Chains A and B, each alone.
Chain A
Amino acid sequence: MTVLLDPALRADFPILARTVRGGRPLVYLDTAATSQKPRAVLDAEREFYTQHNAAVHRGAHFLAEQATDAFEAARAVVAGFVGGRAQELVFTRNATESLNLISHAFSSATAKKAHGAPLPDGAEQFVLVPGDEIVVTEMEHHANLVPWQELCDKTGAILRWIGLTDEGRLDLDGLDEVITQRTRVVSFTHQSNLLGTINTVAAIVARARAVGALVVLNACQSVPHMPVDVRELDVDLMAFSGHKMLGPTGVGCLWGRAEVLAAMPPFNSGGSMIATVTMERSTFADPPQRFEAGSPNVAQAVGLAAAVQYLDRVGMPAVAAHEHVLTDYALAALADIPGVRIIGPTSLVDRGGAVSFTVEGLHPHDVGQVLDDEGVAVRVGHHCAWPTCRRYSVPATTRASFGLYNQPFEIDALVVGIRRAQQFFGVA
């Protein structure tokens, strides 16, 4: 237990001190859905609005300079956190938008090519023809599945996917049959939000490289919980979310290799993303501005940078070690409850702190309701990964997920709540 973080850091998160449902202490086990925010993040947003607020990238007055500096400094901090450079980091509204930005680059390039419209140098890699293939996995969040289905409908490309083993891991045995010379993009999750599985990126990247496919990583569930370095992972594009990593809502990120971003046509268009505009035609700014049309989410980016600095102070290896201990503790505690079945890996190897389970004879809604009555906040449902639920023949699961502020006593509360639900519904 020595690698657990000091419980004193809970005091940095004001919401953890509140009570819910008639005075019960809050036990927050829903960090995979959204994380709670430390005071440093709240202070950073407040300070931006009280001291530096102005429109960025325009105007020459003092505050405009300060606001622009704060926004661009935030970009550098967040990019650096994942091993990237500032000009490779696009601020979006959320990770879903980051992924849509990528799929849109393909449909846009394909449509523009068909009409002979100008494209950025290198954009040919985003032009699809019917029969091209897009590969995802069966453990994707809807955010990394539905945009690709949409892209296939628009272009005639074909969606394929890597299946799952009964243990909750990617079935890589048939990888060479799924990723082929026809594959143009492989987009997959670094860590499953439902199963908790941490995927081996290297094997998929190696196969994708061998066939010349673009590699997209959904890192929403990994960046907040472990050290992540885009150079080490060797992916082309990576989406992650601000609100899941102690940052504010309304800000997500897209990191992309400079030459890949440079080859991508814009997503939203309008102000701030142009180079020149005439009545007939416009040309576009270089990345990242090309992908940031309109007024950006400046205060949220500043808040996210404060979140990153908080995580850096704690240290991502320490965060990962802490959550590893919690996951170990939770898997063992759940295994001791008759009728509880873990949906996802039961070993700690390549496994993160999102623990989904079912309770025999009980629907997850009813489990969640009893837990809620005890002050324990978990997620119930299909977790925006409906096909993954189908794969394991469950309509839904209950999911407990951990963050750096959780402690073992909260898992004890989870166990007490599950047992109470079993007693209440008479299935124990």
Chain B
Amino acid sequence: MDSLYQEIILDHYRNPVGRGLREPFEAEVHHVNPTCGDEITLRVHLDGTGESAVVADVSYDNQGCSISQASASVMYELLLGRTITQGMATHEAFLALMQSATDESGAEPDEDVLEDAIAFSGVAKYPARVKCALLSWMAWKDAVSQAQTHGGNT
């Protein structure tokens, strides 16, 4: 169980970073985990357009377990100030980390890209919790897509 609840996760759960909904934003999404009822409302504020746009803010309000709350907080730290290209690469790396329990390629998670998010490696061993960890990341991807579709310039 200690592999699941690593100190970094517990720290972010107790003291989430970047929490709260802020202005300005180009897109707001609301995602729900239908199996447990966890919810997140997430806004993105992008500076610039296209893949080189920079994440100027990710603000969120969420309700859920320690894993989903800590995941949103870690995600905020990893995305702020990065370009969309970098953010999507981190998203992909995190997704791969969550699927690593069923991944037979033996590929090692990319610690350089994932930074603190590497602490979620234990979650992959508990399939029921993977969706908790992914909730905020899926919301972010959706919000970026909407912001860029509806004109994400400021």
Chain A's nearest CB lies how many Å from the CB of B79?
Answer: 24
Q: Which residues of A contact B26 (CB under 8 A)?
A: none
Give the chain B neighbours of A363 by CB distance below 8 A.
64-66
Contact B64 A386 (CB under 8 A): no
CA distance A363 to B39 in the complex (A): 13
A395 — which chain B residues lie within 8 A by C-beta?
37-39, 63-64
B29-55 residues at the A interface, CB under 8 angstroms: 35-39
Q: Given A365-B36, A396-B37, does the pair A425, B66 have CB atoms closer than 8 Å?
A: yes
- Interface assignment of A176: CB less than 8 Å from any CB of chain B: no
Q: Are the C-beta atoms of B37 and A381 separated by less than 8 Å?
A: yes
Q: Which A residues touch B39, using CB under 8 A?
A: 395
For the complex, give the distance between the alpha carbons of A425 and B63 in Å. 17
Q: Which chain B positions have C-beta within 8 A of A380?
A: 36
A381 and B65 contact, CB distance less than 8 A: no
State the Cβ distance, A12 to closest chain B Cβ, in Å: 29
- State the CA gap A364–B64 with chains docked (Å): 9
Q: Report the Cα distance A365→B130, complex, angstroms.
A: 12
Flag whether A370 is at the interface (Cβ < 8 A).
yes
- Residues on A with C-beta less than 8 A from B4 are 369
B1 interface residue, CB < 8 Å from A? yes
Q: Is the CB of A369 within 8 A of B63?
A: no
Count residues on chain B whose CB falls below 8 Å from chain A CBs: 18
Interface pair B37/A366, CB less than 8 Å apart: no
Q: Is residue A382 contacting chain B, with contact meaning CB distance below 8 A?
A: yes
Given contacts A381-B35, A386-B37, A389-B37, contact A365 B1 (CB under 8 A): no
Alpha-carbon separation in the docked complex, A366 to B14 (Å): 13
Beyond A365-B38, A389-B37, 15 additional contacts (C-beta under 8 Å) are A363-B64, A364-B65, A365-B64, A365-B65, A365-B66, A365-B129, A369-B129, A370-B1, A382-B37, A395-B38, A395-B39, A395-B64, A396-B38, A424-B5, A425-B10
Instruction: Tell me the nearest residue of chain A to B33, going by C-beta.
Output: A381
Residues of chain B lying within 8 A (CB to CB) of residue A365:
36, 38, 64-67, 129, 132
- State the CA gap A424–B35 with chains docked (Å): 25
Whether A366 lies near B66 (C-beta < 8 A) is: yes
Whether B1 pairs with A373 at a CB distance below 8 angstroms is yes
Known contacts A363-B64, A363-B66, A425-B66; A369 and B36 CB within 8 A of each other = no
Chain B residues with CB under 8 A of A396: 36-38
Most chain B CB neighbours (cut-off 10 Å) among A363, A389, A426: A363
Interface residues of A in 354-385 (CB under 8 A from B): 363-366, 369-370, 373, 380-382
